[in-house]
Structure 1
Amino acid sequence: MDINLKESKYTWYNKPRNNFITRERLDRVLVNWKWLHIHQNVSLKDAPTISSDHCALILETQPRDQIKREFRFEAFWTEHEECEKVIRRSWQQDDRNRNCWNQFIRKRSRCKRDLIEWSRRKFKRADKEIEKKEEK
């Protein structure tokens, strides 16, 4: 049985030829029913391609204690002058780690966290503001 890939449909990308990119799902995780019965909360995610044309696959077998909301970059953030500063500040912090992959993961996580915190402070409850303006 093939485990479904959560975030993307593709695990391989070719180099563009004539401005055309081929995308395929070449890499898979196969399990049997017995294994799946033991690991019922399994999830499969792909990591970004960095030095290969294949995405690394991350198989998580441990159940999540708390359902974590996926990070979403809000387009309206870019209209605010502080957005770029928040991203630059969090991305430019030194990780003192020579492993490029770990450094990327830390920078990305820190950037997400900083954007979420900044958004909460700056926009408070944007959904409520939108609701009020729609009523007006």
Structure 2
Amino acid sequence: MTRNRASAKAAGTRFETSIAGYLADQVDDRIERRARNGGKDRGDISGVRAPGGGRIVLECKDVARTNLAGWTAEAEIERGNDDAIAGFVVHKRVGTADPARQYVTGTVADLVALLTGQRPLGGKE
């Protein structure tokens, strides 16, 4: 069965809801799937915070083809739109629907922000 636009959107919604629910159960019950924001997208999941309180953007992808460079660029734009300290991509792992077993990708700058609670200087491309 091939995907059309409607089935792709439905799969994306299910994936985002699954990830948000898992994070709400495991981390903080204020984490939820974010409503669409139009032109100033701020990621797919809201309420994710670093230990120091800084916001973290999560961009979810349930797609067949991997595009890490494009996805991390998108997460970086959304990080800026949300004035967050880090942005990560949560992407589908083929063969499992378990939200705990999905992949997370980000830059080293995002990792530093997560670990320290502050966005590091530099790192511009």
Normalising by the smaller structure, the TM-score range is under 0.3
Structure number with the bigger relative contact order (C-alpha 8 A, sep ≥ 6) is 2
Give me the TM-score of the superposition, normalised by structure 1: 0.21
More strand per residue: 1 or 2?
2
Please identify the structure whose Cα radius of gyration is greater: 1
